[in-house]
Amino acid sequence: MEDSIIDLSACPLERLDEAAGITWGSRAIFRRCVIRGAGKLILCGSGDADKLAVERGKVVIFEDCILEDFGRRGPEVQSCMWIILRRCLIRNWGEPGRFDVRAFAAWAHHGGRIEAESCVFDQPRFWRGWRVMVRDWLAHIGQSWNDEGLRGLLRPAAWLPGVCRGLIATAGGHVRAEDCRATRWWIRLEERHGDMSQEDAAEMVRRLEAMRQDMERR
């Protein structure tokens, strides 16, 4: 998919699942796309044991994309699939109007892998209101217990509120952030290798915003 806008912000949450689901042995490439407005944005890997053989090793690539204004799964990968994010802007996960149970941006688990290269993770603010913050925090603790039991609760990431979860791996997942930028000190990017400068991050965001505006004018 190239040069497209997928905007589900006008759809009621109860009528939506993911904006995009890449499962059951599929591969996908997204270039210069804006995907926004869903409670659950992008899921790669079904989590079904009988589909693991066909999903294992399949790659999904996002290049020069904006993922924004969503609740969670920006993106999420499992079932030994692999996501590559290149020069992408991931922004405003846990948006209160799109929140359902938990909030997070990029999450790898159960054999899934995410490699983020030259990406910017941006949040407009930390506080999202008591309803969102408390429900989200308790749901993440519960998810850690469900996935890994006591071992999961001993991981520092288990106690992070969703607004802080930029790039996280748990329960056998793997992530790597190469030359990426978190715009807030409290946004967690695990396995960081190099940091994009503030100037380069601002220029990348400017370029992607110009791309989005050009697509909206068409």
pLDDT by residue (tens digit) across 162-199? 999 999 999 999 999 999 999 999 999 999 999 999 99
Q: What is the 3-state secondary structure (H, E, C) of the chain?
A: CEEEEEECCCCCHHHCCEEEEECCCCCEEEEEEEEECCCEEEEECCCCHHHHHHHCCCEEEEECCEEEEECECCCEECCCCEEEEECCEEEEECCHHHCCCCCCCEEECCCCEEEEECCEEECCCCCCCHHHHHHHHHHHHHHHHHHHCHHHHCCHHHHCCHHHEEEEECCCCEEEEEEEEECCCCCEECCEEEECCHHHHHHHHHHHHHHHHHHHHC
> Is residue 149 a part of any domain in this protein?
no
Domain that holds residue 101: 2-133+163-217
> Is residue 31 a part of any domain in this protein?
yes
The percent of residues in the chain predicted with pLDDT above 90, rounded, is 90
**pLDDT of 35-88, one tens digit each?**
999 999 999 999 999 999 999 999 999 999 999 999 999 999 999 999 999 999
**pLDDT of 114-141, one tens digit each?**
999 999 999 999 999 898 999 999 999 9
pLDDT score for 17: 84
Tally Cβ neighbours within 10 Å of residue 25: 14
| Rg of the chain taking only CA atoms, in angstroms | 16
> Is residue 152 a part of any domain in this protein?
no
pLDDT score for 32: 98
> Is residue 210 a part of any domain in this protein?
yes
> Can you name the residues that pair with 181 across neighbouring β-strands?
120
- Please, are residues 4 and 20 in contact by the beta-carbon 8 Å criterion? no
> Is residue 144 a part of any domain in this protein?
no
> Is residue 115 a part of any domain in this protein?
yes
> Is residue 156 a part of any domain in this protein?
no
Q: Which residue has the tokens 């910017």?
A: 120
pTM comes to 0.94
pLDDT score for 182: 98
> Is residue 174 a part of any domain in this protein?
yes
CATH number for position 86: 2.160.20.10
**Total count of domains within the chain:** 1
How does the average pLDDT of the chain come out, rounded? 96
- Please, are residues 162 and 136 in contact by the beta-carbon 8 Å criterion? yes
